[in-house]
Every structure is written in C-alpha cells, then in structure tokens.
Amino acid sequence: MKRTLATLFLVTAASTTLGNPPFVRPGGGAPYEEISAGYLALFTCSSHFIMNRPLEDILRVEMVDLADLNLPEPEIDATRQLVRARDHNGTTMIAAYRDTMGCTILPPHWQEADIARLPYVAYPPRPDLNDLAFPAGDKARVRMSARQTDVLKTAFDGSTYGEGSVTLATLVVKDNKLIGEMYRDGFGIHTGYRTWSTAKSVASTLIGIAVHEGLIDIDDPVTIPEWQYFNDLRQEITWRHLLNMSSGLDSAGANTGALYFGGQDVVSAITNSPLIGTPGETWKYANADTLLLLYGLRNVLDNDLNYLRYPYDKLFHKLGMYDSRYETDHLGHFVGSSQMYTTARDLARFGLLYLNDGLLGSERILPEGWTDFVAESAPGLPRADGQRGYGGQFWLLDRLEGVPEGTYTTAGNKGQFSIVIPEENMVIVRTGVDPNGVGWDLGAFISDIIAAF
C-alpha cells in the first residue's frame, strides 16, 4: 500500500516499548477478564471524548457488565485526551482520542509516546445545522399525541420489551419526517453510544458504495494479500460470501475481545483462520467476515488516506451524520464490525438511505438493487416463522409476528437497531445498554410503534 506523510499522520516519535509482547489471540477472541482494562479504557474514552459523557454516568450506565469485577476507576487525562485503566493484575491499558477519528486502544507494546503514530485525518469542525431541517440538519418539530408519547415511554420502562432492559433513545421517521423522539436522561440529539454490530451494516454500505463506483464486483474473490499463495483455497471466498456471513472460515465468531479491547491489530486477528467449510454453503455469524470486507476495501483503494476518509466522505458527511465516528485499530484498520459511536438521529439518517432505495435526493449513493440484496436471505440460514433471518450484514425481521413483509434492520449488542420498514415508509431507531443476557422484543416493539404512529 502507498504510505506517505500526506496519507497518514505518522510521526516517528522517539519512543520505547513497554517490554510486553503484542497481544495476539486466535481469531481475536478473548474472555472479558483478560481484556477488562482495555474494555474500561476504550469505553470511557469514546463515551467521554466523543459523546461528552461524565465518568460517573459512564461507570453507572455503560460499564454495568464489568461491575462485578470491581476494577479500579479509570483515569481521564483531559490534557492529553486519553484514558488509562487498570485491572487487578496490574495491567494498564490506554485509549487515545483524536477528534475526527474517535478512540483507539493502544497495544501492550506501545506507550503514551507512541500515540503520535496513530492515524489521523483532519476535517473541519462540525457545521452548524440548527436551521437546516432534518434529516439533512438538526431542525425538527416533533409533536406526538398522548398515545404516541406513552408508547415511546414504554420503551424506557425496563420491562415491557425486555426485563432489565435499558433504553437510551427511540426515534420514529415516517415519510422522511421525524415524528417521534425520546431520550434517557443524559442523552440527546448529539449524544449517543457504541453501535456494536450495527456497524456491520455500515461496513456493508461502504462495500455497496464501492460497487456503485465500479471498484468491486461482489462475485469476485475478495482482495486479501495474505491469501495469495499457490493452492490457498481461501482465494475462492468472494465479497458476496463475506457479506452473507458464509465465508466457511474458522473463527472466534462474535468473540473478538482481543481485537476490540486488547490492542490486537485487525490483520493478525482475521487473516490466519483456516477454511473449514465450503464458501457460500454454510452460515456462521462472524465478526471476522465483516472485518475482511473492510480490509479488502483498504486493499482495493490502495491509498491509506482515501481509506480513512471513505466512510466520512462517501457516507457520513453526505447524509449529515456528523456525530458519527468509525474507529480504527492502532494500524489504521477500521474495526467496523462493532466499533462505531453514533447518535439515534444519525442512525435514522442511515436507515433513510435504505428506505429511499440508496438515494439521497437525486444522488444515487448505493447501486440499484443493493437495498434488495441486503434484505435477501443468506444461503445456509433457512428462514423460520418467529425467527430473525440474515441478509447482507442486515437482519431480516418479516417472519416475526406483527412485523410487515420486507422489514429488515441493523442489530447491535445491547439493543442497537435502525429498522427499515418499506411497507410503512418508516424507520424506527432504538438504542440501549441492555445488560448481558437481556433480550429486546423487536416484534412487539415494531408492531406497537406502527399501531401508534
């Protein structure tokens, strides 16, 4: 790849390492206890510096699943814009913030002097959108009836749609107009949360944009340099296989804690897995399949600056998603299977792109037929009544009771949804921090919203 000072802000800082080896685990998987300091550091960094959330509330709301570990309180360094966190074994992890890039967890063999080596892209400050109507801007007059208000309040009661659930925001858009909106205390139109796997749908969208630009044919083999050896059967894996979660690769599945919070880099986590099934025939939900899509995109673009700007120039800023950050590892690879911070309104803007068939006004962002493709059932995962299906990095919901035909959604851990309902010309957003093991009744939630709105 082309690497110049113009493409990445990589200062060759005079730095020494901590003496610890790089943190690498097969498939990027690791248990919570092993990466708890990094989890605490990264969440605190992103929540505080991107979303301006106070530490006390971050620990109370976002960190509920680590409460039993009784970790020492993290240290927010406002001057250097970083967070330090420790576990009970004395391991210290550091997450560093850059204004346009969000936060990155440093690997164990880096120290604070190495922060200057992190990738950085300069963007102008967020524009003032107060006088521009939603969805392009922030101006919106949301007037709900008593019944509509009650329905949205129900989403926050912690029991109706999931016992123990914790909702942060609900939002309803119909006919491209914002008609319902409500937030938990401490959150609002410019404060949000980690998307978790809703970021996968964004990754799919970036691939769709590259298809529209003629850079990718989804039935061609994906571009992975580490697989270009004689007789490597992984060369048969196509972009379509990865989009459908049917690569056939062995992986850690949804567990990529070493990558997310331990400082492992994307490439070492995703390129070494062997093929254990025929591509296109078996379905397995795997973070690595999404990360391979983005790594393939980086190789196709063959320009680090273009790659780092791609989500922002081609998608976020076009749609008005100025409160969104697509975070990277320390080597500048997007951790786009999970690591995105955004707001409910930005998720609504994203859903509207799909509701409007990939068009932004008269400009086509996604190729014709892309919105149909992501909502088609992936091979190897039979549909069943009452169960969600899977498409092209989106989940299919139209087999759930009370949900209109053709409904599909992004879906992230702890309840992050941007739900597209073509039959109703509607987008519904729900974000949450549901504790581990708490489910969210999507079918009942969607049918109640439709009935009220």
pLDDT tens digit sequence for 206-231: 999 999 999 999 999 999 999 999 89
- Is residue 8 scored above 60 in pLDDT? no
What are the phi and psi torsion angles at 154 (to 5°)? -60, -35
Residue 181 has pLDDT above 60, yes or no: yes
pLDDT of 9 > 70? The answer is no
Give the least confident one: 4-18, 26-40, 271-285: 4-18
Same fold, 146-196+337-452 and 198-319: yes
Number of helices (H) and strands (E) in the chain: give both, helices first.
Answer: 13, 16
The C-alpha atoms of residue 378 and residue 240 are separated, in whole angstroms, by: 10
Domain regions of the chain by residue span: 26-117, 146-196+337-452, 198-319
21 pLDDT tier (thresholds 50, 70, 90): confident
Correct CATH for 198-319 of 3.40.710.10, 3.30.470.30, 3.40.50.2020, 3.60.20.10: 3.40.710.10
For the stretch 318-336, pLDDT in tens is: 999 999 999 999 999 999 9
Per the CB < 8 A criterion, the answer to whether 440 and 162 are in contact is yes
Average pLDDT, the chain: 94
Q: Phi/psi at 319 (nearest 5 deg)?
A: -85, -5
Average pLDDT of the residues in 334-340: 98
Cα-to-chain-centroid distance, residue 123: 21
* Percent of the chain whose predicted confidence (pLDDT) is above 90: 93
Q: Is the pLDDT of residue 429 over 90?
A: yes
Alpha carbon distance 231, 233 (integer Å): 6
Query: What is the CATH topology of the domain spanning 146-196+337-452?
Result: Beta-lactamase (3.40.710)
Please say if the pLDDT value at position 13 is more than 60: no
Q: What is the pLDDT of residue 1?
A: 41
Determine the longest span between alpha carbons in the chain, in angstroms.
Answer: 66
* pLDDT score at 41: 98
- Number of neighbouring beta carbons within 10 Å of residue 17: 14
Q: What average pLDDT does the segment 95-99 reach?
A: 97
What's the confidence (pLDDT) of residue 380?
A: 84
Averaged pLDDT for residues 288-315: 98
CA distance 115 to 95: 9
Neighbours of 322 (CB within 10 A): 19
Cβ count near 88 (within 10 Å): 12
Distance CA 177, CA 370 (A): 23
pLDDT over threshold 50, residue 5: no
pLDDT at 20: 76
Q: What is the pLDDT of residue 19?
A: 52
Report whether 342 contacts 325 (CB < 8 A): yes
The whole-number pLDDT of residue 11 equals 35
Asked if pLDDT for residue 393 goes beyond 70, the answer is yes
Q: How confident is the model at residue 278 (pLDDT cuts 50, 70, 90)?
A: very high
Whole-prediction pTM: 0.95
Give the list of residues 6+ apart from residue 64 with CB closer than 8 angstroms, or none.
Answer: 166, 433, 435
Four-residue CA torsion sign, 46, 48, 53, 58: positive
